[in-house]
Structure 1
């Protein structure tokens, strides 16, 4: 009996670790080229993960803005999945240079610590970082003319906000992130904004009617989908082999929509 209990414990532990490592496993098994690039943003080093597609010509670009836990393995795996779909994907670590003790996300002792630091970032610094990323990636010889921004949760909010501060991006794809509420900020938006939301996410979805009205009143493009049965962070959860089926379905539908949007730009 004792042997059986130990065996079941080992099986359960192995399955749990496998579930936690799904994003890292996907990265390690990817055939695509990945690299780290350090950029200068103000007086700081800004670290970026880049994934390249296996294509013969210039490729559209997606700037990927991470969730509120920083540049995690899952965010990097999303960048790799974008490369698999034919895009250059660059994911900046917006926690770069937060302190000498924690110069990048991977240096934090826990995801909670990374989250706490993230909410201390100055908005203008985030904007400056994203402009630095845009300038770099748009100048790559392998890059095509299309550059979009896509972000998740906190990164979705930053994606919407960056659309108010950049006249250069071709689209903003906001995954379950909140929107600016100031009309003066909305008036600065030039790129179309596409929203991706889970049905079971009232905290975020409750703000949709107000931003929709603001965008329409100011002649801005704002198109969104709300995915049935999906919750917050369904893109990450939907990648997990053990994630809820509704989140997996929403994740798959969102990928198809993302690719359709990219092909229309």
Structure 2
């Protein structure tokens, strides 16, 4: 009986260890974070916006950041990024832009696959995205733990939305655009009052081919636009560089970008 129990325990410990090894670093970060995480619901007209919020462990009121996800929806990596922001002293709110998408799907996690979530993202109307971002902004502005300052950061599809949101909200403190394109309509840039910071991978010609047009439009209207291109890094290098399996170029670009993020937000 003792031999059987020992074997059972050995198998259990082996399975537990295998599970921990297989778990991705984002899941590990979220599960082991000492910071307060919560899911909230915000009324947005006839819709209900679901969002993930992380609070920093600080003694003073903190600046807040809206985190706009990639084209696969609100993934664990995006939530992990929000946790990393909070670790640096910022309140982070990541809205799920697929909230109330349909009667069948009310949030990203309900989609059968990331491909189907991506297909749904590109069906969203800009007006709905703006409404969700406005509601996120107002929530953070009124948050007792916040100091009233709200920035926005977005990745890929979310990077483009971060740039576009700067045309809709002059009260943003900063807009950080990760490998996202600027508005196609040059007249939209006239509405921008917020400083815009771009982050781009050198091996991302699809996005990088639009930088000069954005730069020219921003300069035409005397808008602040500062960007960095991280040579050797690819599209989505922040996510790819967040893994030990990432290339040296992506990891280096991710680390350098974090230094720049913190310098900008301060």
TM-score between the two structures when normalised by the length of structure 1: 0.92
Residues 142 and 148 in structure 2, CA contact (< 8 A), matched pair in contact too: no
In structure 2, list runs of 5 or more residues that go unmatched: 1-13
Residue 67 of structure 2: which of 64, 83, 96 is its match? 64
1:38 aligns with 2:41: yes
Match of 1:232 in 2: 235
Comparing 178-187 and 128-137, the one that deviates more: 178-187
Q: Please give the alpha-carbon distance, in whole angstroms, between the structure 2 residues aligned to 1:104 and 1:180.
A: 27
Q: What SS class does the counterpart of residue 239 from structure 1 fall into? A: coil
Q: How does 1:57-206 map to 2 (within 5 A)?
A: 57-206=60-209
1:213 aligns with 2:211: no
Comparing 20-29 and 155-164, the one that deviates more: 20-29
Q: Please give the alpha-carbon distance, in whole angstroms, between the structure 1 residues aligned to 2:196 and 2:189.
A: 11
Residues 179 and 198 in structure 2, CA contact (< 8 A), matched pair in contact too: yes
What do you get for the CA RMSD once the two structures are aligned?
1.6
Q: Which structure is larger by alpha-carbon Rg, 1 or 2?
A: 2
Provide the aligned length of Structure 1 versus Structure 2: 251
Q: Which runs of 4+ in 1 moved over 2 A?
A: 17-20
Match of 1:4 in 2: none
Match of 2:6 in 1: none
In structure 1, list runs of 5 or more residues that go unmatched: 1-9
Q: Please give the alpha-carbon distance, in whole angstroms, between the structure 2 residues aligned to 1:98 and 1:114.
A: 10
1:53 Cα deviation from its structure 2 partner: 0.3
1:119 Cα deviation from its structure 2 partner: 0.4
Residues 140 and 148 in structure 2, CA contact (< 8 A), matched pair in contact too: no
Which whole-Å deviations, capped at 9, do the CAs of 1:32-87 have from their partners, x for residues lacking one? Answer: 00001100111011000000000001001110000000000000000000000100
Q: Please give the alpha-carbon distance, in whole angstroms, between the structure 2 residues aligned to 1:245 and 1:106.
A: 31
Q: Please give the alpha-carbon distance, in whole angstroms, between the structure 2 residues aligned to 1:91 and 1:179.
A: 21
Q: Please give the alpha-carbon distance, in whole angstroms, between the structure 2 residues aligned to 1:109 and 1:136.
A: 30
Q: Please give the alpha-carbon distance, in whole angstroms, between the structure 2 residues aligned to 1:52 and 1:73.
A: 17
Match of 2:250 in 1: 247
Q: Judging changes above 3 Å, is the alpha-carbon distance between structure 1 residues 254 and 150 closer, same or farther for their aligned structure 2 residues?
A: same
Which whole-Å deviations, capped at 9, do the CAs of 1:162-214 have from their partners, x for residues lacking one? Answer: 00011111110000001102122100001000000000000000110111011
Residues 19 and 242 in structure 1, CA contact (< 8 A), matched pair in contact too: no
Comparing 196-205 and 17-26, the one that deviates more: 17-26
1:145 Cα deviation from its structure 2 partner: 2.6
Which whole-Å deviations, capped at 9, do the CAs of 1:86-138 have from their partners, x for residues lacking one? Answer: 00000000000001111000000000000000100011000011000000111
